[in-house]
Structure 1
């Protein structure tokens, strides 16, 4: 018994000890693990706080930090007299926060949608009443779950009313917008700033960096609800205002130019009119007008009649193209063949190089044929010898061709480059065109030299031409033209003043004086008589050049121009007028010169420039415009001439009733004194081939009588007066030619006077068509490419 007890007791204790040992081991292991975990956590915390602390703190602050850009006020644009042309005004953008609608607060989605629809409708009506628009326009924008912009460029007054509505979901952000007090005045010089306050075109673009200034910023620490975290401070860095620009432009002179440009465009139904007024001495631009100017406050609005009528029909791509056309500055960005205005460049170069002089004479027989395969005609009606002075006064192409050939290709090219053609002038406006000149003197052939001498075969920009003529009048000094006079800060302190530094001296003082004399004779006794101003001597040159076709050759359309300086004794003002595609008469003497005279006279008087001459009755008061009587029956031509206050001679011993005028001298569009005689060359139409007369505007009985006298068969369509005819006037017809005439009833005409005006319009159109007949002969085809005065 005792043995059994001794053997059993140790086994029980051993088992108990084993269980206790296992339990202790688990506790120890757990404690170890906890200690290890605590150690690792401690290490991690130390690592985070010590090693990564700075970086993580920076990241956390970046997530909480809100940086807002504070826009700098854009600099003001002034004219030379400190009149504000571009300013800043406070506008507002209106936002509606769709994220403020919380679906979780509603029992069901249906309740949420119903309340959202009701609330947005009510809010839209309140906002629409203030903005004075249809609330449905706003309601269409209130979609999605984000903040949406419902209005922009809202006036300060309306923005304050929106705030007074106290609509929780509505926020009003004040922004600074560009405003142009004069709307479209000087639009192509000023340019405009877009919605991002970045300058587009004009001075706004070329001086964008100076005008923009330096933006500031506001730095604050905010939570996800955009509420600033307590005990944190907001740091503000004030923006630096942009510099203001003071232009060389004079608002009054700009208005003179724009008024004259508009008047000229309307009177001559022209496509566009460009007028530049420049300070002759320092190259500053006093005015630069281009029709049709766009509204700077609404630059994307349609401008031309075509655009207004067809805007909704245009594709986005077509609208973009039309915008670019509106914004382009013809005076800077476009090029054209200058025609006879370029003759002053050729003459100045020849005088400077002494290849010609005022005593030298040149024979003009009407056609120049000394260059093989080339025939050049002259629109001047005078024949025989003429001096350089007379050649320029009469705008004789043939004399200038001979002067150009004497000068030679190398010297001609030298002066083309010296006067600044073929390269940008450096004017402080964007996208200036180069013009187009020969690549080198070696590339100028004999024919090219001849045509360049009178302004064809070379393309210039208006700013290049006026700048070159200013150099001729300014003792030969060529300046860099500019439109900005100086930069100022907001306190009016001058930051930078633009200085006039001549690029080079192109011609001598003596040549400059001679050229001023010659240009003065053009105005006093030549084609530029309409530029005369009482009390001042004016010099200049007229020009009429065919427009180069985009495909090949020349169009039957013209650019009429006049460039001039005043007063000649001490030139202060240079002016250039360029009229593109005038209807009817296209002579520079009648289309462009009157506009130049008007602007020059107003500018000289406005600037109070002392008069240089005793005021006498201007020759232009006694001048009469020679009418175009070519291709008219002699009886009709004689009546037109006599009614104009002048007389005529017909070069024929025996004049028939069928006589038609084939040529006239002086040419149409020339101004002559009252009582002057116009010489008429006629075709008596006694041969088999007869010259078709102008029948447009005649009644049926008149037409029948005329055509019976010509022994021609005809068909008449309609009743009333002739509005079109075939073949065209000036065509050669034979007895087997069938004449077709279209007539229009007079019943719809308002009165007899309006009938006469319509007749004149039809005749003008026909005269324009007659120029196309030049294609029928090589001589006339060559003459198409010439300057008409």
Structure 2
């Protein structure tokens, strides 16, 4: 072959080789640039994911305290997650069987399944059970100690939510789900503050993708959540719930009830009781047994499931914030304030009520609850009579523009902004929709819907000098060291009416309780302001008539007031939705139903809240209670001398030797005793069973019969509520049939059956 040809071939070969090298290295360089610069971060993450296992470590959820700062309403307690480490067990069949059998017995799991799970070589993390309580955890620890098991089972700390007071404040607190996240109530509203920041447990994996021993683990500690200190006082809340439940039972309430107490100066909610309620420790159990039976009668399937969901949502719902209602005549305190503030009326302005008013466009007249009319009365008398035409007159004089301006100022056109989820907005006639009929009917509280929290907030403005407060449940948020992270805004939103108008309305409402249509809320020893409401559920009635032409009207019975009258501090609204008058003795009115409940609550809570007793002269002479002196432990002669000085009578049960010691006294020291009442003294030698007497049913007895029945039952009574001649017992402090010791004092709350405030258009 010629030398030139050989050289050409070599050059071509070298050129081809260089070209291949350039292309090859170029492709490699491009690939490196792509994988390192473009795909690098993603590949790095994937590599880490393959070599590391990351497990979330829950933070301890913040504690919720009541207003005292000492009573725990919700807390997270330690529980544990049980984890198998099969790598340490897989090569020892006997140990696998011991672990499987032991854990299956303690945790009530299938032993064979656990045995199979212990045989997965190379695995260091297999969750067996979550949320294990302390007693179960202790049994597992003992099992491990008894069988000398150091590796193979791990107990990882976790948390579970507890509510120590059960159903108390359940509709306020809400509850958490399986992942410890808030689902309802404050738990949901303050989720970010309560939840804290989760930690991480990061463990290494080997080249085969199995877990490496715990020596290679890294832990990022969780940051615990903040604590909440509420304005809710557990004692106040419990009292509200107690009397609300009693009213529901007594008056056969069909559609739930609300009682809410507010500090009129700060807007802090001291108690907010609603019915139905639930146990947040077991929120998916329906507490209403009658409703549960109804659901269980439905055929299995979607219909039953839907009924169950609806029942659960109803019992979780906070009726005081999320439901609307007709305020009825309670609203007259706002309309009256508008009229006085605008100078349209004074307390002495007169108006003649003939029992009804006719309006153009309406076929039938709108009646006063007193169909015969109240005649010519002053505004003060008109409010105390709860005269509907009087307030129709005020509304007409105000006109729609001014009326709507005040309606907005009192906060009825906006949500209050209370720190609870699900607050509803009101349903009102707009200014454009408001004709004369709509205006006058709204003026006495009908045909529009608001929330209870809006009404109590407006009443606080009437009480506190005219200032609209910001209702709130949480007073402050604090960290684990007790440092305040955030405090509630207690500033006023605006001034709605003047202090002089507020003082005038308060004085009229005080008279209304003393001698007007709100006497059912009278509280012996305290100057209380109050207004009743008996509103008709007109929209519901119209719907019912379409189904049943004989359907009867249903009502909302309410009572709203505040105390003490001379310097209001606390407002209370009580309302019952749909009393069943066919089965409760014919009671529908706010004065008869909500009034006695209001009175009983205030009678118990005002002393607790530090409001001093201020008896009128009549009360002092006729109804004033005294306090039982402390004579237990003294000799009989010493005790008798002290009781005589106190003006109290006595009975002796047991030995009557003057030197014998008093072992017990009824009533106990510091408790109320009726004026000229008695103290039963127990000395040695008495038979406990012989001293018991059964509490009679005082319901609907007048005062004379109640006192007589108490006397023959060896009981004493203290009187609360209405002082009317026709008043009867509506509530009693001890349930009928309960056996108590002789001399026990039973509180009787009186009320009237008279139906006032009812709106009727015939």
Query: Could you tell me the TM-score, scaled by structure 1's length?
Result: 0.67
Give SS of 1:416's match: helix
Kindly report which structure 2 residues correspond to 1:119-518, keeping only aligned pairs within 5 A, or say none.
126-127=102-103, 129-131=105-107, 151-162=129-140, 164-165=142-143, 172-223=155-206, 224-228=209-213, 234-271=217-254, 272-312=256-296, 313=298, 315-371=304-360, 372-380=362-370, 383-440=374-431, 442-518=432-508
Compared with structure 1, are the counterparts of its residues 570 and 612 closer, same or farther at alpha carbon in structure 2 (3 Å cutoff)?
farther
Q: CA deviation at 1:318?
A: 2.6
* 1:60 matched to 2:44: no
Deviation of the 1:533 alpha carbon: 2.0
Change (3 A) 1:573 1:137: farther
Cα-to-partner distance string for 1:706-731 (whole Å, 9 max, x where unaligned)? xxxxxxxxxxxxxxxxxxxxxxxxxx
Name the structure 1 match of 2:607. 605
RMSD over aligned CA atoms reads 4.4
Report the alpha carbon displacement of residue 673 of structure 1 after superposing the two structures with TM. 3.5
Contact 2:59–2:225 (Cα < 8 Å) also in 1 = yes
Deviation for aligned residue 1:547: 2.1
1:685 aligns to what?
Answer: none
Contact 1:128 1:138 in 2 (8 A): no
Deviations 1:652-676 (A, max 9, x none): xxxxxxxxxxxxxxxxxx9674389
1:49/1:365 Cα in 2 relative to 1: closer, same or farther (>3 Å)? closer
Q: CA deviation at 1:532?
A: 1.9
Is residue 356–residue 373 contact of structure 2 (8 Å, CA) maintained in 1?
no
Q: What is aligned with 1:674?
A: 725
Query: In structure 2, how many angstroms separate the alpha carbons of the residues matched to 1:307 and 1:128?
Result: 38
State whether residues 74 and 163 of structure 2, in contact with CA within 8 Å, keep that contact through their aligned partners in structure 1: yes
Q: Are the counterparts in 1 of residues 229 and 475 from structure 2 also a CA contact under 8 Å?
A: yes
1:541-620 correspondence runs (5 A): 541-550=531-540, 552=542, 556-584=553-581, 585-614=587-616, 616-617=618-619
User: Aligned partners of 1:524 and 1:229: how far apart in 2?
Assistant: 75
Contact in 2 for aligned 1:516/1:568 (Cα 8 Å): yes
1:527–1:619 distance in 2 versus 1, CA, 3 Å: farther
CA distance in 1, matches of 2:541, 2:243: 33
**In structure 2, how many angstroms separate the alpha carbons of the residues matched to 1:430 and 1:172?**
36
Secondary structure of the residue aligned to 1:617 is: helix
Per-residue Cα deviation, 1:101-140 (whole angstroms, up to 9, x for no partner): 99xx9xxxxxxxxx99xx99x9787546434x6969999x
> Is the 2:233–2:271 Cα contact (8 Å) retained in structure 1?
yes
Q: State how far apart, in whole Å, the 2-side matches of 1:174 and 1:41 are.
A: 55
Task: Quote the Cα distance in structure 2 between the aligned partners of 1:785 and 1:135.
Answer: 66
CA distance in 1, matches of 2:496, 2:261: 21
Whole-Å separation in 1 of the counterparts to 2:250 and 2:113: 46
Query: Following TM superposition, by how much is the alpha carbon of 1:582 offset from its aligned partner in structure 2, in angstroms?
Result: 1.4
The CA distance in 1 between the partners of 2:436 and 2:556, in whole Å, is: 25
- The Cα shift of 1:94 comes to 4.7
Asked whether the 8 Å contact 1:451–1:457 carries over to 2, the reply is yes
Q: Distance in 2 between matches of 1:643 and 1:267?
A: 15
Could you say what secondary structure the match of 2:554 adopts?
strand
Change over 3 Å in CA distance of 1:50–1:673 after alignment to 2:
closer
Shift of 1:457: 1.2
How has the CA–CA distance of structure 1 residues 587 and 181 changed in structure 2, closer, same or farther, with 3 Å as cutoff? same
CA 1:184–1:137: 2 relative to 1, 3 Å? farther
- What are the superposed Cα offsets for residues 444-491 of structure 1, whole Å, 9 maximum, x if unpaired? 111111211111111110000000000011110001100011111001
Distance 1:467 1:568 in 2: 17
Kindly report which structure 2 residues correspond to 1:72-87, keeping only aligned pairs within 5 A, or say none: 72-82=59-69, 83-87=71-75
Partners of 1:236 and 1:645 in 2: CA distance: 72
Equivalents in 2 of 1:496, 1:194: separation in Å? 26
Measure how far apart 1:330 and its partner are. 0.4
Alignment correspondent of 1:739: none
Cα offsets for 1:61-115 (capped at 9, x unmatched): 332022222222111111111111111112234567999999xx9xxxxxxxxx9
Instruction: Please state how far the C-alpha of 1:374 moved relative to its aligned partner.
Output: 3.9
Higher Cα Rg, which structure: 1
For the Cα contact (< 8 Å) 2:295–2:307, is it kept in 1?
A: no
Taking the aligned partners of 2:74 and 2:337, their CA distance within structure 1 comes to 41
Quick check: 1:275–1:576 contact (8 Å CA) kept in 2?
A: yes
Give the number of aligned pairs: 600
Gap change, CA 1:619 and 1:448, over 3 Å in 2:
farther
CA distance in 2, matches of 1:344, 1:270: 26
What is the distance in 2 between the residues matched to 1:50 and 1:291?
Answer: 65
**Residues 129 and 594 of structure 1, relative CA distance in 2, 3 Å threshold:** farther
Instruction: Return the alpha-carbon distance in structure 2 between the equivalents of residues 138 and 269 of structure 1.
Output: 53
Deviation at 1:497, TM superposition (A): 1.6
Q: Which residue does 2:517 correspond to in 1?
A: 527
